[in-house]
A and B are shown apart, each in its own frame.
Chain A
Amino acid sequence: MITYEWLYLFAGAAFAVWAALSAKDGRWGNAAFWALLAVSFLLGSHLSDLANGGLVLAMVAIAGLGGLKRSDPPTTSPQAREAHAARLGNRLFLPALVVPLTAVAGTLLYNYTPLGETGLFEARRETLILFGIGVVAALAGACAWLRPPLMAPAEEGRRLIDSIGWAAILPQMLAALGAIFALAGVGDIIGGGARGVIPEGSVFLTVVVFAAGMALFTMIMGNAFAAFPVMATAIGIPLLIETYGGDPAVIGAVGMLAGFCGTLLTPMAANFNIVPAALLELKDQNAVIRQQVGTAVPLWVCNVIIIYVGAFLLWN
Chain B
Amino acid sequence: MNYWPLAGIAIVVLGFALRFNPLLVVVSAALATGVLAGLDLVAVIEALGKAFNDNRYISVTWIILPVIGLLERYGLQQRARSLIEGMRGATMGRLLVAYLAFRQIASALGMKDIGGHPQAVRPLVAPMAEAAAVKTHGDLSGDARDEVKAMAAATDNVGLFFGEDIFFAIASILLIQGVFEAAGYPLTPLELSVWAIPTALFAFAIHSWRVLAFDRRLGRGAK
Binding site for B on A (CB under 8 A): 4, 7-8, 10-11, 14, 37, 40-41, 44-45, 47-57, 59-60, 63-64, 66, 75-76, 78, 80-86, 88-90, 92-93, 95-96, 99-101, 103-104, 108, 127-128, 131-132, 135, 138-139, 142-143, 146, 148, 152-157, 159-161, 164, 166-181, 183-186, 189-190, 192, 220, 224-225, 228-229, 232-233, 237, 241, 248-250, 252-254, 256-257, 260, 263-264, 267-268, 270-277, 279-280, 282-285, 287-288, 290-292, 294-295, 298-299, 302-303, 306, 310
Assembled-state Cα–Cα distance A175/B63 (Å):
20
Among the 9-residue stretches B87-95, B112-120, B131-139, the one with 4 or more Cβ atoms under 8 Å from chain A is B112-120
Verify B180–A237 contact, CB threshold 8 A.
yes
A178 CB to nearest B CB, Å: 8
Cβ-defined partner of B175 (8 Å) among A83, A228, A288: A228
**Known: A148-B73, A168-B59, A176-B30. Contact between A253 and B42, CB under 8 A?**
no
Most A-side CB within 10 Å, residue of B16, B48, B126, B194: B48
Known contacts A14-B62, A48-B49, A76-B73; 9 further A-B pairs (Cβ under 8 A): A56-B27, A60-B23, A139-B67, A168-B62, A172-B56, A173-B27, A186-B8, A254-B198, A271-B58
Residues of A within 8 A of B195 (CB): 249-250, 252-254, 306, 310
Verify A263–B65 contact, CB threshold 8 A.
no
Assembled-state Cα–Cα distance A270/B83 (Å):
31
Verify A280–B149 contact, CB threshold 8 A.
yes
**Known: A7-B60, A99-B119, A132-B60. Contact between A229 and B179, CB under 8 A?**
yes
Verify B30–A180 contact, CB threshold 8 A.
yes
**Known: A53-B45, A64-B21, A128-B57. Contact between A88 and B66, CB under 8 A?**
no
Verify B162–A257 contact, CB threshold 8 A.
yes
Verify A131–B113 contact, CB threshold 8 A.
yes
Verify B207–A295 contact, CB threshold 8 A.
yes
Q: Is B18 an interface residue (CB 8 A)?
A: no
Residues of A within 8 A of B193 (CB): 253
Verify B185–A248 contact, CB threshold 8 A.
yes
Verify B22–A295 contact, CB threshold 8 A.
no
Residues of A within 8 A of B63 (CB): 7, 10-11, 14, 132, 135
Verify A152–B203 contact, CB threshold 8 A.
no
Residues of B within 8 A of A256 (CB): 165, 172, 175-176
B37 CB to nearest A CB, Å: 3
Q: How many residues of chain B are within 8 Å of chain A by beta carbon?
A: 118
Verify B111–A100 contact, CB threshold 8 A.
yes
Verify B49–A51 contact, CB threshold 8 A.
yes
Q: Is B140 an interface residue (CB 8 A)?
A: no
Verify A160–B150 contact, CB threshold 8 A.
no
- A sample of 18 inter-chain contacts (CB < 8 A) reads A40-B52, A86-B82, A93-B76, A131-B64, A139-B70, A146-B70, A161-B62, A170-B23, A183-B47, A237-B180, A253-B195, A254-B195, A254-B196, A256-B165, A257-B199, A271-B58, A273-B157, A274-B22
Binding site for A on B (CB under 8 A): 1, 3, 5-6, 8-9, 12-13, 16, 19-24, 26-27, 29-30, 33-34, 36-37, 39, 42, 44-79, 82-83, 110-111, 113-124, 126, 142-143, 146-147, 149-154, 156-158, 161-162, 165, 171-173, 175-177, 179-180, 183, 185, 187, 191-196, 198-199, 202-203, 206-207, 210
Verify A260–B162 contact, CB threshold 8 A.
yes
Assembled-state Cα–Cα distance A146/B152 (Å):
29
A299 CB to nearest B CB, Å: 6
Assembled-state Cα–Cα distance A88/B143 (Å):
32
Verify B146–A53 contact, CB threshold 8 A.
no
Verify B62–A237 contact, CB threshold 8 A.
no
Verify B42–A50 contact, CB threshold 8 A.
yes
Residues of B within 8 A of A179 (CB): 47-48, 50-51, 54
**Known: A170-B26, A288-B150. Contact between A100 and B119, CB under 8 A?**
yes
Residues of B within 8 A of A49 (CB): 46-47, 49-50, 53
A295 CB to nearest B CB, Å: 5
